[in-house]
C-alpha cells in the first residue's frame, strides 16, 4: 500500500470522476467528491512523510522499469505542492455545494464535479510524474477539464472566455509538445531523469535551444506570464465562483512547477541561466507583468476581473524570483507560490459568498456591504492586505524574501519597482474598501445577509491560514528553502 | 539628599511589590497586551454605553498603573527582555526595555486614560455614531503603540508601525462622509507609500548590509559599510518614517484632522506622530549611533530639510483659521524639533528631542482637548469666531493658554526644558543657522497660538459670541476634567521633570556612550 502512494495520489480522483456518473444525484456526488478529496489530501500528507523518511520516491508504473515504462518520481518539491493542491481543493469543495446550487441547475452540477475531479487528476498527475510526455498528457487533461468548468459559468460570456482559453491553451500545449518532441529527437528518451543526464551531451545544438524556447513559451502561456496572460482575466471572471477559486489557487502554481522542474532539473541551472538569457527574460517580463497588470487591475469594475489581473501581477513576482537565479530568489518564489494560493483562495471564496447573496461582482454592488456582510468583506480585506504585503500576513513574508533576494544580487532598481507594485496593490484594494465601507447601500438594494456559513467557514479557514503562516513561518520557509536547495542540487 | 534616598527606598519597595506580583518581563508583556483585553468588554457591552466605557476606563487605569510600576522597577535597574517568536530566520518579534521606550510608554499609557475620559464627554456630547467601533480600534492602536515602544529590533518596530497605521485608519475616517474618506485616503496613502517604499526598503537594506536589526547602543553599522550606502539608508529612514511628518511627507497630518477630536488629540498629537519621531530617534541612536550620524555627509542636509520644515509649517499654521488645522500644522512644525534633535547627533540634541516627545505630547493634547471642547460646547471651529469665548469657557481657555506656553517654550511649562536642550544641542553641533530658525519658529508659535486665548479673554467688546457674559457654558465634565489634568501636568513637569528627564538623560548617555 505504502509503496503505491504516488499512483494512488493520481488514481483516486481519476477513478472518482466516472463514479460520479453512476451516482448522478448532485447531493450524493457532492459528498462523494468531498470524500475523494479528503482521501487525496491524506495521501499527499503520507507522501510527504514518506519522502521525509526515505528521500525521493520512485514508482514504476505497471512494474515497467524507467526507460521503457513511465516512472513517477516524488521528492520534497512535488510532495509539498501536492499538499498545497489537495488541501485547497478539499477546502474549496466544502463551499462548492451552496455556491453551485445558486449558480447552476442541479442537473449540471454532477458534470461540474466530474470536471473538477479530472482537473485535480491532471494537476496531481503533472506533479507526480517523472516523464516528460506524461506531463503533457496530464496538462491536457487538466486544461480540458478547466475549459469545461469555465464554460459552465452562468454568464454567457463564460463560453467566450472558455473558447479564448481553449485557443490559447492549445497553442501553449502544442508548443510544449514541440519542445518535448525536439528533446526526444535529440536524446531518445522521455524520462526526465534520463533527459537530465543525456541533454548535456547535446546541449550546444540549435535543436536543444529551440526545444528550450518552445517549451518555455508554452509553459509561460499556461502560467499566464505577461504578455501571454490574455486568457486569464476573462476565464477567472466568468467561470463559476468555485472554479475560479480552484483554478486561481492551483493551476497556475502547477504550471510554475513545470517551469521549475524543466529549467532546473531537466535542462539544469548551467544551461538555463548561462547559455540562455533566462535572467534577463524572466526578470524583465516578470517586472513588466507586476506593474502593468496591477495598473490594469486598478481600472477594473468587475471585481473578479480585478483580482484576476492581480493574479497576473502576482505571477510576475514568482517569475521574478526564478529569474534572479539565486537560492534566495527561488525560496521567495516557492514561498509566494504557497502564500499566493492562500490569499487568492480566501479572496475568491469570499467573492463566491458575495455572488451567492448579491449576485453581482460589479464594484457598484459593493456599496454598503461593509455593514451588511461584515465577515465576508473582512475576509476580502484581510486577503487584500496580504496581497499588499502587510506584516503579519503571508504576503509580507514572500515580499520580504523577494526584496532580500533582489538586494543580495544588487538589483535594487528592480526592488524599488517591486515595492511600487505593492503600492499599486494598495490602490486597487482600497478602491474596493472605500466603496464597501463608505458608500451607503443603493436605494433599491434590499438588505443583504451574511454569506452562508458553508462558504464563509472555508473562506475564513484560508483567511486564518493567511495570518497563521504569516506569523509562524517555520513550515513554509523551511520547506521552501529545502526545495530551493533541492532544485539547486545541493545535498540535504 | 534625603529626598533622593527616600525616592530610592520607595523605588525599591515598589519594585519589590512588583516582583512579588509578577516579573518585569511579564509586566512588559501585559503592557503590550492589556489594551487588547478591553476589546471583549467593548464588544460585549456594545448596547450598554456605560459598561462599554467602563471596560475602556478600567483597562486604561490598569495600563497606567502598569506603566508606572514598570517605570519604577526599570528605574531601579531592572531591565526586561522578552522574545516572542522568530518570524523569519534571524528576525525576531522581541521586546526590550530601554529608556526611550519606557518614556514613550509612560506618555502613551498615561494619556490613553485621560483621552478615554475625554472621549466619553466628547463622543456623547457630539452625538457621534459607531462608538463601539471607535473604542475597538482605539484599543488596537494603543497596543500598536506599546509594541512599538518596546520593540527590540527594527523588524518588530516595523510590524507594529504598520499595525498602528492600519488600526488608526478607521478612526480617521470615523465620520464616514466623503470628506472623511478623502482625508483617510491621503492619510493611508502617504503613510503606506512612505513606509513600504522607503522604510521597508531601508529595513531590508540594513538587514542585507549588516545582518543585524537589533537596536544596539552605538549602532549596528561597522566600517565595512560605505558612507554612501549609510547615507542613502538614513535618508530612506527619515523620509520613510512618514509618521514623523518630515516635509514633504506631512500632508497626511492636516488631512487626518477630519477625525473626531479625541482621535486627533491622542493619535495625532501623541501616539501616531510620536511613534514616528520615536522611530527616527531609535534609528538614529540605536541603528546608526550618533558618531556615525555625525560623520555622514547627508545628515546635515536632512537637518536643513527638517529645519526648513519647522519654519514652513509654522508659517502655514499662521494662515489657518480652522483651529484644528492650525494645531495640525503646529504639530508638523514641533515634530521637526524632535527630528532635529535626533539629527543634531549630540547628547543635548538627543536629550532635548526625547524630552520634547513628552513636553509636546502633554501640551498639544491639551490644545486639542480644548479645540474639541469648544466644538462641543460652543460649536465653533474657526478661530475668528472665538473672540470673547473666555467669558463663557474660562477653564478651557486657561488650559489652552497653558498648553500654548508649553508649545512655545515659556516657563513655567514643560516645553521650556526641551527647547533649552535643543538650543544647546544646536550650539554643540555648531549649527547656528538651525538655532536661529528654531528661535524664529518659537516667535511664530507665539504669534499663532497666544492670540487665541488672549482674544478670548480680553477682546470681549468685539465678541461674536452671542451669549450673556456671565453665563458659563463649558464642555461636558469628563472632557473638562481631562483637559484640566493635562494642563496641570504640563505645569507639573516644569517643576518636576524628573521621571522623563531622567529617562531622556539616560538615553543621551547611551547615545554618547560610544564616545568612550
Q: Which residues of chain B make contact with A484, given a CB cutoff of 8 A?
A: none
Q: Do B201 and A420 touch (CB under 8 A)?
A: no
Could you give the angle at which helices B394-408 and B451-458 cross, rounded to 10 degrees? 150
Say what the pLDDT of residue B9 is.
Answer: 47
Whole-angstrom CA distances from A262 to A57, A132, A201, A219, B123 are 19, 9, 17, 10, 63
Judge residue B1's burial from the number of C-beta atoms within 10 Å of its C-beta, 0-12 exposed, 13-18 middle, 19 or more buried: exposed
Cell numbers given for B89: 530566520
- The string over B403-442, giving b where at least 16 C-beta atoms fall within 10 Å of a residue's C-beta and e elsewhere, is bbbbbbbbeebbbbbbbbbbbbbbeebebeebbebbeebb
Residues of chain B contacting A385 with CB distance shorter than 8 Å: 166
Residues 6+ apart with CB under 8 A from B461: none
Q: Is the Cβ–Cβ distance between A338 and A480 less than 8 Å?
A: yes
| The three grid cell numbers given for residue A230, joined into one nine-digit string | 490574455
Identify the bridge partners of residue A191 per DSSP, sorted by sequence position: A131
Collapse the DSSP code of B88 into the 3-class scheme (helix H, G, I; strand E, B; otherwise coil) and give the result: strand
Q: Which of B200, B211, B226, B232 to mutate to test the interface with A (most CBs of A within 10 A)?
A: B200
B85 pairs with which residues across the strands? B93
Q: How far is CA A211 from CA A126, A127, A220, B55, B113, in A?
A: 19, 21, 14, 69, 70
Is there a contact between B197 and A423 if contact means CB atoms under 8 Å apart? yes
A99: nearest Cα among A84, A116, A122, A121: A116
Query: Looking at the predicted structure, is the pLDDT value of residue B515 above 50?
Result: no
Task: Of A291, A295, A454, A307, give the one whose Cα is nearest residue A366.
Answer: A307
pTM of this prediction? 0.89
DSSP letter at A482 equals H
Which set of grid coordinates corresponds to residue A210? 529551440
CA dist., res. B343 & res. B300, Å (int): 8
pLDDT of residue B253: 87
Cα-Cα-Cα-Cα torsion B319, B322, B328, B332, nearest 10 degrees, comes to 0
Task: Report the pLDDT value the prediction gives residue B6, as an integer from 0 to 100.
Answer: 46
Q: Is B466 helix (H, G, I), strand (E, B) or coil?
A: coil
**Residues paired with residue A72 on neighbouring β-strands, in sequence order:** A59, A129
Place of cell 497586551: B33
Q: Which of B313, B297, B217, B242 is nearest to B512 (CA)?
A: B217
Query: Residues A422, A424, A426, A428: is their CA dihedral positive or negative?
Result: negative
pLDDT of the residue at A491: 40
Contact A256, A273 (CB under 8 A): no
- Cβ-based burial of B317 (10 A; exposed 0-12, middle 13-18, buried ≥19): buried
Report yes or no: A287 and A414 within 8 Å, Cβ to Cβ. Answer: yes
User: Which among B86, B181, B192 is the nearest to A434, CB-wise?
Assistant: B181
Residue of B nearest to A385 (CA): B166
d(CA A268, CA A281): 17
Q: Could you give the CA distance from residue B335 to residue B342 in angstroms, rounded to a whole number?
A: 11
Distance from CA of A404 to the nearest CA of B (A): 6
Average pLDDT score over chain A: 89
Backbone dihedral angles phi then psi of residue A73, each to the nearest 5 degrees: -130, 120
Gap between the Cα atoms of B423 and B353, Å rounded: 10
- Give pLDDT tens digits for A89-109: 999 999 988 888 888 888 888
A430 touches chain B (CB under 8 A): yes
Cα A241 from chain centre: 15
* 3-class DSSP string for B89-140: CCEEEEEECCHHHHHHHHHHHHHHHHHHHHHHHHHHHCCCCCHHHHHHHHHH
Contact yes or no for B253/B343 (Cβ under 8 A): no
Residue of B nearest to A434 (CA): B181
**Cell numbers found for residue A52:** 521525509
The beta-carbon neighbor of A419 closest among B88, B162, B200 is: B200
Q: For residue B189, which residues of chain A lie inside 8 Å, CB to CB? A: 426, 430
- Give buried/exposed letters for A253-268 (b at 16+ CB in 10 A, else e): bbbbbbbbbbbbbbbb
| Cβ distance of B196 and A434 shorter than 8 Å | no
d(C-alpha B500, C-alpha B507), whole Å: 11
**pLDDT per residue over B455-510, tens digit each?**
888 865 555 555 555 566 777 888 888 889 999 988 888 888 888 888 888 888 88
Residue B3 banded pLDDT, cuts 50, 70, 90 = very low
Q: CB contact, 8 Å: A164 with chain B?
A: no
Confidence class for position B48, pLDDT limits 50, 70, 90: confident
- Distance to chain A for B162, nearest Cα, Å: 7
Instruction: Tell which residue, A168, A186, A172, A129, has the closest CA to residue A10.
Output: A129
Rounded to 5°, the CA angle A403-A407-A409 comes to 120
Local structure of B214: helix, strand or coil: strand
Look at strands B91-96 and A71-74 and give their pairing. unpaired
Helix (H) or strand (E) holding B311: helix B297-319
β-bridge mates for residue B93, sequence order: B85
Average pLDDT over residues B397-422: 88
Which among B89, B162, B207 has CB closest to A391?
A: B162
The residue with cell 477513478 is A15
Does B516 touch chain A if contact means CB atoms closer than 8 Å?
Answer: no
The answer to whether the CB atoms of A397 and B163 lie below 8 A apart is no
ipTM of this predicted structure: 0.86
Q: Give dist(CA B426, CA B436) in Å, integer.
A: 9
The stretches in chain A having pLDDT less than 50 are: 491-492
Residue B457: CB atoms within 10 A of its CB come to: 16
pLDDT at B280 over 70: yes
Which among B449, B227, B218 has a CA at the least distance from the CA of B345?
A: B218
**CB contact B163 to A (< 8 Å):** yes
**Around Cβ A492, how many Cβ atoms within 10 Å?**
7
In this prediction, residue B2 has a pLDDT band, given cuts at 50, 70 and 90, of very low
**pLDDT number for residue B158:** 93
Give dist(CA B21, CA B26) in Å, integer.
10
Q: What is the pLDDT of residue B16?
A: 54
The residue of B93, B151, B169, B208 whose CB has the most chain A CBs within 10 angstroms, and thus the best one to mutate to test that interface, is B208
Element (H, E) at A423: helix A412-438
pLDDT in the model for residue B5: 44
3-state secondary structure of B85: strand
* Residues from chain A contacting residue B85 (CB–CB below 8 Å): 471-472
- Element containing residue B161 per DSSP (H, E): helix B154-172
Q: How far is it, in rounded angstroms, from Cα A357 to Cα A458?
A: 16
CB-nearest partner of B88 from A388, A397, A438: A397
Contacts of B159 in chain A (CB under 8 A): 391-392
Q: What is the mean pLDDT of residues B35-49?
A: 83
A447 Cα to chain B: minimum distance (Å): 19
- Note the pLDDT tens digit of each residue in A259-298: 999 988 888 888 888 888 888 889 999 999 999 999 999 9
Count of CB atoms situated within 10 Å of the CB of A107: 9
Q: How far apart are CA A131 and CA A190, in angstroms?
A: 6
* Cβ burial A335-360 (10 Å sphere, 16+ → b, else e): bbbbbbbbbbbbbbbbbbbbbbbbee
Kindly report the three-state secondary structure assignment for every residue of B225-284. CCHHHHHHHHHHHHHHCHHHCCCCCCCHHHHHHHCCHHHHHHHHHHHHHHHHHHHHHHHH
Nearest to B168 by CA among B232, B253, B45, B100: B253
- Cβ distance B204 to A420 less than 8 Å, yes or no, reads no
Interface mutation target, options B162, B185, B187, B206, chain A, most CBs of A under 10 Å: B162
CB pairs under 8 A between A and B: 65
Query: Are the C-beta atoms of residues B188 and B169 closer than 8 Å to each other?
Result: yes
B84 interfacial to chain A (CB closer than 8 Å): no
Q: Name the residue among A426, A434, A473 with its Cβ closest to that of B192.
A: A426
Mean pLDDT of all residues in B210-221: 86
Residue identified by cell 447552476 is A104
Pairing of the two strands B81-88 and B91-96: antiparallel
DSSP A490: -
The verdict on B159 touching A (C-beta cutoff 8 Å) is yes
Q: Do A473 and B88 touch (CB under 8 A)?
A: yes
Amino acid at each position: 500500500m505504502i509503496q503505491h502512494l504516488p499512483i494512488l495520489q493520481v488514481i483516486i480522483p481519476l477513478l472518482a470522476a466516472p463514479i460520479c456518473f453512476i451516482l448522478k444525484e448532485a447531493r450524493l456526488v457532492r459528498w462523494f467528491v468531498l470524500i475523494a478529496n479528503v482521501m487525496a489530501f491524506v495521501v499527499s500528507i503520507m507522501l510527504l512523510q514518506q519522502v521525509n523518511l526515505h528521500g525521493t520516491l520512485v514508482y514504476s508504473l505497471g512494474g515497467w522499469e524507467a526507460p521503457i515504462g513511465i516512472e513517477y518520481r516524488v521528492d520534497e518539491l512535488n510532495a509539498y505542492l501536492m499538499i498545497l493542491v489537495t488541501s485547497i481543493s478539499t477546502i474549496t469543495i466544502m463551499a462548492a455545494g451552496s455556491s453551485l446550487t445558486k449558480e447552476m441547475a442541479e442537473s449540471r452540477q454532477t458534470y461540474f464535479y466530474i470536471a473538477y475531479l479530472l482537473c485535480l487528476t491532471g494537476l496531481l498527475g503533472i506533479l507526480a510524474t517523472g516523464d516528460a510526455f506524461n506531463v503533457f498528457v496530464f496538462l491536457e487533461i487538466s486544461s480540458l477539464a478547466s475549459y469545461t468548468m469555465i464554460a459552465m459559468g452562468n454568464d454567457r460570456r463564460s463560453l467566450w472566455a472558455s473558447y479564448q482559453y481553449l485557443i490559447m491553451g492549445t497553442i501553449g500545449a502544442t508548443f510544449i509538445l514541440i519542445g518535448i518532441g525536439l528533446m526526444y529527437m535529440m536524446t531518445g528518451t522521455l524520462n526526465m531523469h534520463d533527459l537530465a543526464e543525456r541533454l548535456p551531451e547535446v546541449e550546444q545544438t540549435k535543436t536543444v535551444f529551440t526545444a528550450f524556447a518552445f517549451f518555455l513559451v508554452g509553459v509561460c502561456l499556461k502560467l499566464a506570464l505577461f504578455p501571454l496572460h490574455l486568457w486569464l482575466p476573462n476565464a477567472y471572471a466568468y467561470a463559476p465562483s468555485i472554479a475560479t477559486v480552484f483554478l486561481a489557487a492551483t493551476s497556475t502554481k502547477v504550471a510554475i512547477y513545470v517551469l521549475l522542474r524543466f529549467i532546473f532539473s531537466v535542462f539544469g541551472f548551467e544551461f538555463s541561466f548561462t547559455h540562455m538569457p533566462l535572467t534577463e527574460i524572466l526578470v524583465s517580463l516578470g517586472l513588466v507583468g507586476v506593474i502593468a497588470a496591477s495598473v490594469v487591475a486598478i481600472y477594473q469594475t468587475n471585481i473578479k476581473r480585478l483580482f484576476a489581473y492581480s493574479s497576473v501581477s502576482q505571477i510576475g513576482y514568482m517569475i521574478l524570483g526564478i529569474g534572479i537565479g539565486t537560492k534566495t530568489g527561488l525560496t521567495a518564489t516557492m514561498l509566494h507560490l504557497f502564500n499566493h494560493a492562500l490569499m487568492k483562495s480566501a479572496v475568491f471564496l469570499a467573492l463566491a459568498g458575495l455572488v451567492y447573496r448579491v449576485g453581482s461582482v460589479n464594484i457598484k454592488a459593493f456599496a454598503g456591504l461593509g455593514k451588511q456582510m461584515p465577515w465576508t468583506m473582512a475576509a476580502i480585506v484581510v486577503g487584500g492586505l496580504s496581497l499588499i504585503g502587510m506584516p503579519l500576513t503571508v504576503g509580507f513574508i514572500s515580499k520580504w524574501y523577494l526584496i532580500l533576494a533582489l538586494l543580495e544580487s544588487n538589483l535594487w532598481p528592480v526592488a524599488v519597482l517591486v515595492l511600487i507594485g505593492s503600492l499599486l496593490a494598495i490602490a486597487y484594494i482600497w478602491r474596493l474598501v472605500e466603496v464597501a465601507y463608505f458608500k451607503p447601500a443603493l436605494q433599491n438594494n434590499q438588505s443583504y445577509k451574511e454569506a452562508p456559513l458553508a462558504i464563509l467557514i472555508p473562506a475564513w479557514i484560508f483567511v486564518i491560514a493567511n495570518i497563521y503562516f504569516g506569523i509562524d513561518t517555520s513550515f513554509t520557509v523551511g520547506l521552501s528553502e529545502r526545495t530551493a536547495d533541492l532544485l539547486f542540487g545541493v545535498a540535504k | 539628599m534625603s529626598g533622593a534616598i527616600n525616592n530610592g527606598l520607595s523605588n525599591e519597595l515598589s519594585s519589590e511589590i512588583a516582583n512579588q506580583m509578577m516579573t518585569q518581563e511579564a509586566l512588559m508583556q501585559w503592557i503590550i497586551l492589556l489594551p487588547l483585553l478591553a476589546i471583549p468588554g467593548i464588544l460585549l457591552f456594545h448596547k450598554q454605553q456605560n459598561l462599554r466605557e467602563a471596560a475602556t476606563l478600567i483597562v486604561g487605569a490598569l495600563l497606567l498603573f502598569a506603566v508606572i510600576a514598570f517605570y519604577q522597577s526599570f528605574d531601579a535597574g531592572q531591565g526586561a527582555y522578552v522574545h516572542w517568536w522568530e518570524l523569519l530566520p534571524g528576525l525576531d518579534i522581541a521586546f526590550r526595555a530601554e529608556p526611550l521606550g519606557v518614556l514613550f510608554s509612560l506618555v502613551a499609557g498615561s494619556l490613553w486614560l485621560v483621552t478615554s475620559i475625554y472621549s466619553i464627554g466628547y463622543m456623547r456630547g457630539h452625538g457621534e455614531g459607531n462608538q463601539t467601533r471607535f473604542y475597538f480600534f482605539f484599543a488596537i492602536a494603543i497596543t500598536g503603540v506599546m509594541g512599538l515602544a518596546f520593540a527590540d529590533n527594527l523588524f518588530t518596530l516595523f510590524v507594529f508601525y504598520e499595525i498602528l497605521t492600519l488600526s488608526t485608519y478607521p478612526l480617521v475616517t470615523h465620520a464616514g462622509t466623503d470628506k472623511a474618506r478623502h482625508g483617510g485616503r491621503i492619510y493611508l496613502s502617504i503613510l503606506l507609500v512612505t513606509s513600504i517604499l522607503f522604510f521597508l526598503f531601508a529595513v531590508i537594506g540594513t538587514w542585507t548590509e549588516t545582518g543585524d536589526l537589533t537596536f544596539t547602543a552605538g549602532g549596528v553599522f561597522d566600517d565595512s559599510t560605505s558612507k554612501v550606502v549609510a547615507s542613502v539608508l538614513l535618508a530612506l529612514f527619515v523620509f520613510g518614517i512618514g509618521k514623523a511628518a518630515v516635509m514633504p511627507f506631512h500632508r497626511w497630518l492636516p488631512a487626518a484632522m477630519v477625525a473626531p477630536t479625541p482621535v486627533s488629540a491622542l493619535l495625532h498629537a501623541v501616539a501616531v506622530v510620536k511613534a514616528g519621531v520615536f522611530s527616527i530617534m531609535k534609528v538614529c541612536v540605536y541603528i546608526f549611533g550618533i558618531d556615525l550620524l555625525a560623520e555622514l555627509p547627508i545628515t546635515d542636509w536632512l537637518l536643513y530639510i527638517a529645519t526648513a520644515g519647522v519654519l514652513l509649517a509654522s508659517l502655514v499654521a499662521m494662515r489657518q483659521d480652522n483651529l484644528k488645522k492650525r494645531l495640525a500644522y503646529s504639530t508638523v512644525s514641533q515634530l521637526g524639533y524632535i527630528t532635529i534633535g535626533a539629527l543634531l547627533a549630540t547628547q543635548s540634541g538627543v536629550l532635548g528631542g526625547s524630552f520634547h516627545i513628552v513636553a509636546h505630547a502633554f501640551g498639544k493634547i491639551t490644545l486639542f482637548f480644548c479645540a474639541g471642547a469648544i466644538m462641543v460646547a460652543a460649536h465653533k471651529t474657526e478661530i475668528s469666531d472665538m473672540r470673547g469665548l473666555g467669558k463663557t469657557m474660562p477653564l478651557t481657555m486657561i488650559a489652552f493658554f497653558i498648553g500654548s506656553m508649553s508649545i512655545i517654550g515659556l516657563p513655567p511649562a514643560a516645553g521650556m526644558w526641551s527647547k533649552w536642550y535643543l538650543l544647546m544641542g544646536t550650539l554643540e553641533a555648531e549649527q547656528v543657522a538651525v538655532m536661529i530658525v528654531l528661535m524664529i519658529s518659537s516667535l511664530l508659535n507665539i504669534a499663532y497660538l497666544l492670540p487665541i486665548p488672549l482674544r478670548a479673554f480680553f477682546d470681549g467688546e468685539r465678541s461674536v459670541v452671542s451669549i450673556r457674559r456671565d453665563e458659563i457654558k463649558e464642555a461636558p465634565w469628563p472632557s473638562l476634567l481631562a483637559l484640566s489634568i493635562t494642563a496641570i501636568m504640563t505645569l507639573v513637569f516644569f517643576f518636576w521633570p524628573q521621571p522623563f528627564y531622567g529617562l531622556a538623560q539616560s538615553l543621551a548617555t547611551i547615545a554618547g556612550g560610544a564616545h568612550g
